Amino acid sequence: MAIEKVREYFGQYGLEDRIQEFDVSSATVELAAHAVGVSGARICKTLSFKSEDGCILIQMAGDSKVDNRKFKDYFGFKAKMLSAEEVEFYTGHAVGGVCAFAVENPKVRIFCDVSMKRFETVFPACGSANSAIELTCDEIFGFSKSEAWIDVSKLPEEE
């Protein structure tokens, strides 16, 4: 089970007790916000895109959307999301619990979007559709082994 893998991953840092498991689903931004008790913007969603030789995971604020122009300008190709099967193949996590922790596939590149920097802490999933962990932006960047902070998002007020 993916949450156990994530729990073991955080265990090496002594943080496994910070993982929250809920009696309700947290599989979408709205459900996670309700389960955690915060606004949807503070939920860290992890989006997965096809790349030439694998996939790209982008962690971003729950209220943001991918700006296709910014994505193409940064990566050099058009954004194309993975299927649910491809997501699980590359990340080891099923849709609804996708996170950038304990991802061992070398064909996965991980990034953090600046949309999260508006908040002191955010809540990414932990490998299951009913889990989350509260992390600072520096923590999420480090624990997910992100390559860079990027700006490929647009916020609701920008639309």
* 45-90 tens-digit pLDDT: 999 999 999 999 999 999 999 999 999 999 999 999 999 999 999 9
157 belongs to a structural domain: no
Q: What is the pLDDT of residue 49?
A: 97
In the chain, how many domains are there? 1
User: Which residue in 58, 22, 60, 24 sits closest to 42, CA to CA?
Assistant: 60
Burial 69-93 (b: 16+ CB within 10 A, else e): ebbeebbeeebeebeeeebbebbbb
User: Which residue in 135, 60, 124, 63 sits closest to 96, CA to CA?
Assistant: 124
Q: What is the pLDDT of residue 1?
A: 61
- What sign has the CA pseudo-torsion 130, 146, 86, 154? positive
Q: What is the pLDDT of residue 159?
A: 59
Q: What is the pLDDT of residue 143?
A: 97
95 belongs to a structural domain: yes
What is the residue range of 115's domain? 2-150
pTM of the model: 0.95
159 belongs to a structural domain: no
Burial of 7 (0-12, 13-18, 19+ CB in 10 A): buried
Task: For residues 99 and 17, give the distance between their C-alpha atoms in angstroms, rounded to a whole number.
Answer: 17
Q: What is the CATH number of the domain that holds 103?
A: 3.90.960.10
Beta carbons of 89 and 58 less than 8 angstroms apart: no
Residues of the chain with pLDDT under 50: none
126 belongs to a structural domain: yes
156 belongs to a structural domain: no
Beta carbons of 61 and 116 less than 8 angstroms apart: yes
